[in-house]
Amino acid sequence: MELFQITDDSLILDGNERKPICICIDASNEVDFNTLTDISNSVKKIANDICQKVEMQMKIEFCIVTYGEECRVIRDFAFLKENEFEDLEIQKIGGAPNLKKALEKCVDLINSRFSFYDVADISSLPAQLFLISSGKTCEEIGEFSNRIISAEKILKVLPFKIGNGSCEILQSLTRSGEVHSDTGEFKKLFEEFKKSAENISGSANEIFKWYELRQEDLDEFDEEEI
């Protein structure tokens, strides 16, 4: 017997618009425990801030992928639930970082989400891929970076370097070649993230309050340096 299936448009979806955000995190041996803790806290803060506004909660879909020698989908695309990440701790995967494998996984997830949007007649803005990487990879990215750049209209990569690796690999993933790092470029990074957040949603600046907190830390650091 064929079962009755309700249609997507018979549900309340707060408009047929989605804003997919994928966060890809290097959890290989190139990244230390403290940095992973710091990243976990930032992800938690972002998630909590999104949940503060139901409008945002019902539009932004969040996906988290971590990688080392292997790749793990911590969370596939879906709306955020309140307190969902309260106990989030990004676990170290270890091994050498396989950035290529991670990017392939992220692109697969984003593609499959876009396929669903097509079927459900949902419009979306370009997916944002926040790539938090040591800048190292054990497998050459090669032509894959060209594919990512050519898909810029549907996927924007925001690379964020957190280790000692090379910027070149990450630069190859964006048309502008811009890479942000933790060596004095935090302020720039925050601005870039804010800008991209504005593109995601007019009110999404709220999401990125945590940058301001981090920026205060940086200001203190700057003063110490002086």
Q: Are 65 and 23 in contact (CB under 8 A)?
A: yes
Query: What letters, b where the CB count within 10 A reaches 16 and e where it falls short, cover 9-39?
Result: eeeeeeeeebbbbbbbbbbbbbbeeebbeeb
Q: Is 88 in the site for another protein (CB under 8 A)?
A: no
Q: Quick one: which of 73, 96, 151, 167 contacts another protein (CB under 8 A)? A: 73
CB of 182 to another protein, least distance (A): 28
Residues 11-30 that bind another protein (CB under 8 A): 11-14
Nearer to another protein, 75 or 180 (CB): 75
CB of 61 to another protein, least distance (A): 9
Residues 106-125 that bind another protein (CB under 8 A): 116, 120
Q: Is 92 in the site for another protein (CB under 8 A)?
A: no
Rg of the chain on CA atoms, in Å: 18
Which of these ranges, 83-91, 170-178, 196-204, 205-213, lies near another protein under the rule CB under 8 A? 83-91
Q: Is 78 in the site for another protein (CB under 8 A)?
A: yes
CB of 52 to another protein, least distance (A): 6
Q: Is 170 in the site for another protein (CB under 8 A)?
A: no
Q: Quick one: which of 69, 84, 182, 192 contacts another protein (CB under 8 A)? A: 84
**Dihedral angle computed from the Cα positions of residues 140, 146, 148 and 154, in that order, rounded to the nearest 10 degrees:** 180
- Of the candidates 142, 163, 147, 55, which has an alpha carbon nearest to the alpha carbon of residue 110? 147
| 180-181 and 155-161 beta bridge pairing | parallel
- Alpha carbons 182 and 199: distance in angstroms, whole number: 24
Q: Which two tokens stand for residue 208?
A: 């990125």
Q: Quick one: which of 16, 32, 54, 152 contacts another protein (CB under 8 A)? A: 54
Size of residue set near another protein by CB under 8 A: 33
Across-strand partners of 160?
Answer: 132, 180
Q: Are 187 and 211 in contact (CB under 8 A)?
A: no
CB of 177 to another protein, least distance (A): 35
Instruction: Say how far residue 29 (Cα) sits from the centre of its chain.
Output: 20
Q: Which residues bind another protein (CB under 8 A)?
A: 1, 3-14, 48, 51-54, 57-58, 73, 75-76, 78-79, 81-84, 86-87, 116, 120
